Structure 1
């Protein structure tokens, strides 16, 4: 069994399909669900992030012009958005640190494409 920290990092900023096939020895995911492969709960992921922070595999700069998901903290406020072709979508901010982290974690888990949570 792979430790929970590794699973969390793969789900938040890795490649779950590649991990399942190469590390866990699953031939493909046609006959498996990700819930059979990954054994962490959303609460464990929240707890991990509250202690260790959000992995920075995404843009964490206010001024980044790259496409994709962006998040950053400035003066205790979390900002998030998607940028595509110079346009910003789903622009959010959270003055509550925990709510901001949970929103970012939920977004990263959705982006992983596993359908776990």
Structure 2
């Protein structure tokens, strides 16, 4: 079993499917559960981001044209949206740092596809 910090980094920055397959030593996850690999909770991931920050990249910012989940902080507010085929939808604005961070962490975990949210 990987330590908590490694698990959290994989969930936030890496490929959970590849990690799970490598850790289990199987070709796919069809007959396995992510709970066999990941023992961290959503709250563990959130607490990690309080210390280390939320993953940031150019592709998640306001001006990125990349598709997917975008989020950025500006003047104490968190802004989030999804971009698909050039369209923006599900825009959110969080004036509360905690609510914004929790939404971003939950969404990142959902997008990781592990069911850990």
Q: TM-score, normalised by structure 1?
A: 0.91
Could you tell me how far apart the structure 2 residues matched to 1:3 and 1:21 are? 16
Q: Verify: 1:71 aligned to 2:71, yes or no.
A: yes
Could you tell me how far apart the structure 2 residues matched to 1:48 and 1:74 are? 21
Unaligned runs of 5+ in 1: none
Could you tell me how far apart the structure 2 residues matched to 1:107 and 1:79 are? 13
Using the TM superposition, give the Cα deviation of residue 58 of structure 1 relative to its aligned residue in structure 2, in angstroms.
7.0
Using the TM superposition, give the Cα deviation of residue 12 of structure 1 relative to its aligned residue in structure 2, in angstroms.
1.9
What value does the CA root-mean-square deviation take over the aligned residues? 1.5
Matched residue SS, 1:108: helix
Could you tell me how far apart the structure 2 residues matched to 1:34 and 1:26 are? 13
Could you tell me how far apart the structure 2 residues matched to 1:98 and 1:72 are? 14
Q: Verify: 1:20 aligned to 2:47, yes or no.
A: no
| Higher-helix-fraction structure | 2
What is the number of equivalent residue pairs in this alignment? 116
CA contact (8 A) 2:58 2:64 kept: no
Structure 1 segments, 4+ long, off by >6 Å, are: none
Unaligned runs of 5+ in 2: none
Using the TM superposition, give the Cα deviation of residue 6 of structure 1 relative to its aligned residue in structure 2, in angstroms.
1.3
